[in-house]
Structure 1
Amino acid sequence: MPPTPRPDVLDFLATRRSRPAKTLRAPAPDAAALRPMLEIAARTPDHGKLEPWRFVVLQGAALTRLSETTIAHGARRGEPEEKVAKAATAFADAPLVVAVIASPKPSEKVPEIEQHLSAGAVCLALVNAALASGWGANWLSGWMAIDRDWLTEALDLAPQEFVAGFIHIGTESSAPPERPRPDLDAITTWVDA
C-alpha cells in the first residue's frame, strides 16, 4: 500500500521560517497554550525512553534575573561588551523562553551523544510546534548554554546538564524575509552500492 501524503504538513515544513527573537513581543502563550507545544516536543525520539531532556519555562522576573546574571558572568569571562549586551537583551526583551535542558542519563545502550542529539531534536520540535500554533519562535544558544558557572547560578542545573536551546516564543512583530537555503546537490551524496 503506498504512503498517504499529508500535503498540509509537507507545506508547513517546506515553508517554515524561524522568527528572529528580537522581533518577538508580548503576548506570549500562557501555560494552557504552551502545554500542547511542550507535549508535541516531548514526542521526540530518545532511543531508549530515557527522556534525556527537560523543560524550564522562563518568564517575567526570571528573564530579568537571567539578563542580569548574563551581564555579570559575561564581564567575569571577559566576553566582549557587545556580545554580552546582545545576550542579556535577548533575555530582558523576551516575552517567554523555554530552556530545553539536555539531561543525559547513565545508559549502557544509549551513548551520551545520542542523548544530546535527542535534546537538539526537542528544540526543533518545540520551534515547529510554536510556529504551527501561530506563534513566532526562535532557537538560540550562546556561551551561557554551556558555561558551568552561569548554568549553576542562573538555572541550578546538575553538573551533567546544559542548555540545548533557549526557545523564544511570542507574538511576531514583523515577518522576516526568506533567507538563502543550502544547495541540496552540494550537500547530498547518493550511495547505491
Structure 2
Amino acid sequence: MKLKVQTLDAKAKGDIDLNDDVFGLEPRADILHRVVTWQREKARGTARPTRERGDVARTGKKFGNQKGGGTARHGNRRAPIFIGGGKAHGARLRDFNPSLNKKIRALGLKMALSSKVKAGTLFVLENVELKDAKTKALQAHIGKLGLGKKILVIDGEAVNDNFRKASANLVGINSLPAVGANVYDILNADSLVLTRAAVEKLEARFNG
C-alpha cells in the first residue's frame, strides 16, 4: 500500500510503499492482548520474600521453665514475637517472568502497526531532523501536522539528537529508535509517526 510522506513543515514529499505483510494485516484483539500482557508483566520487578519462622536460623530449644517464671511459656526463639524471629504472615516470593513465543511477539508488533494504518493515525515523515533543539519550534511543527495529544515518534538507527532534546519538554511525545518499537507504546499513542528510515528498519527486521 502507498502512504503520503511529509516533512516536519507538513509539506508533501512524495509517497512510500508499505509492505502489506507488515502494515496490511487484520489486527486481532486476542494477539494484541497477549503481547501487551506479556510486555507489562516482564516490566515488573521480582516481589522479594520475607523470612518466616521456618527460614530463620535460631534455636528451637526450650528455654526457661514451663511454670514459675512469671512469664509466658516459650519453646522456640524463632517465634515472631522475639527480636530476630521470623515474620508472621510475611510476603511470599513472586517472580514475574512469563514467556511468549517469538512468532506471536512479532505478529503482535505487525498487527499494532497495521492497526494504526487502518485507523488512519500512522504518519510517515521524511525525517525528524531539526537545525536547533528548540521546543517552541517543534511545537509549531506538530501543530501543523495535527498529530493529536499522545504521539509516538519512531526514527531509524537512533533518534535525531536535536529532536530528542526539543521533545523532552513536551508532554505526550515519546520518541524511540526503530529497535525499541513495541506493541504497548504503539497502541497507547493517539498517533504513530515513522520516518522513512524507521519504515526501512522495521520492514528489514521482519524480512531479515
Query: Shorter-normalised TM-score: what interval?
Result: under 0.3
Whichever of the two has the greater Rg, that structure is 2
Q: Taking structure 1 as the reference length, what is the TM-score of the superposition?
A: 0.27
TM-score, normalised to structure 2, is 0.25
User: Which is helix-richer, 1 or 2?
Assistant: 1
